[in-house]
């Protein structure tokens, strides 16, 4: 009987080590969401089609023809931003330690902030909204379309890279 109880103690010890080390695993970033990545791919295509159709500039006289496209793109981006913001950024001791170190170095911390992809999506929405307002008011020059596109692409790269990277 002693032999069995020693074996049980050993089994409990091995199980304790396994459970203890499993508990050390951590999560420092939001979960991957395939729906957001798929949404980004879809909205990217819509935006590029719109930029292509206005690449020579656009006159305010035919703004009405483009209004629906603007609204569709802005709506899709806003929906994705909400989805991205809905995931909380995990908080744990490691994040707190990193933030303490960053603060001691005078660096702004991520605490309480949204995921960078959510911020990027909000900025894309602002960019397309500004393009829509300008188009409605006075039309947009080819150069302005190029600048709006450049800005949207930079933010889209940030959002897509971050969201894809979350798949781990």
Partner 1 sequence: MTTPIGTAQLIKDMKDAATGILNKDVTTLRGFSERQITAIAQQSELVALGIASGQITEETREFFLDSIEDMALNFAKTLRGLLMVTIEKVWNALVGVTKSGATSAALQSHHFWWPVSLDVMRRRLS
DSSP codes, 40-91: HHHHHHHHHHHHHHTTT-B-GGGHHHHHHHHHHHHHHHHHHHHHHHHSPPP-
Q: How far is the CB of 113 from partner 1 (least distance, A)?
A: 8
For partner 1, the closer of residues 27 and 53 by Cβ is 27
Binding of partner 1 by 144 (CB under 8 A):
yes
CB distance 7 to 130 below 8 Å: no
Among 46, 69, 85, 153, binds partner 1 (CB under 8 A): 153
Residue 59 touching partner 1 (CB under 8 A)? no
Q: How many residues bind partner 1 (CB under 8 A)?
A: 52
| Shortest Å distance, C-beta 4 to partner 1 | 6
How far is 123 from 159, CA to CA, in rounded Å?
A: 10
**Per-residue binder mask for partner 1 (CB under 8 A), 3-32, x = binder:** xx--x--xx-xx--xx--xx-xxxxxx---
Nearest to 30 by CA among 74, 84, 81, 66: 84
Decide: is 94 part of the binding site for partner 1 (CB under 8 A): yes
Q: Which of 37, 123, 125, 132 binds partner 1 (CB under 8 A)?
A: 123
- CA 154 to CA 27: how far, in whole Å? 28
């Amino acid at each position: 009987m002693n032999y069995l109880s020693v074996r049980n103690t050993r089994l409990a010890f091995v199980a304790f080590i396994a459970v203890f080390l499993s508990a050390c695993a951590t999560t420092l970033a939001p979960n991957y969401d395939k729906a957001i990545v798929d949404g980004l791919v879809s909205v990217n295509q819509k935006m590029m089609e719109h930029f292509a159709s206005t690449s020579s500039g656009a006159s305010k006289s035919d703004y009405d023809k483009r209004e629906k496209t603007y609204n569709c793109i802005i709506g899709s981006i806003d929906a994705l931003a909400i989805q991205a913001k809905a995931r909380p950024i995990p908080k744990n001791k490691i994040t707190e330690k990193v933030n303490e170190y960053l603060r001691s170095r005078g660096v702004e911390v991520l605490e309480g902030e949204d995921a960078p992809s959510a911020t990027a999506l909000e900025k894309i929405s602002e960019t397309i909204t500004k393009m829509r307002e300008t188009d409605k008011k006075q039309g947009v020059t080819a150069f302005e379309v190029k600048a709006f596109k450049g800005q949207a692409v930079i933010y889209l790269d940030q959002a897509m890279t971050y969201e894809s990277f979350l798949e781990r």
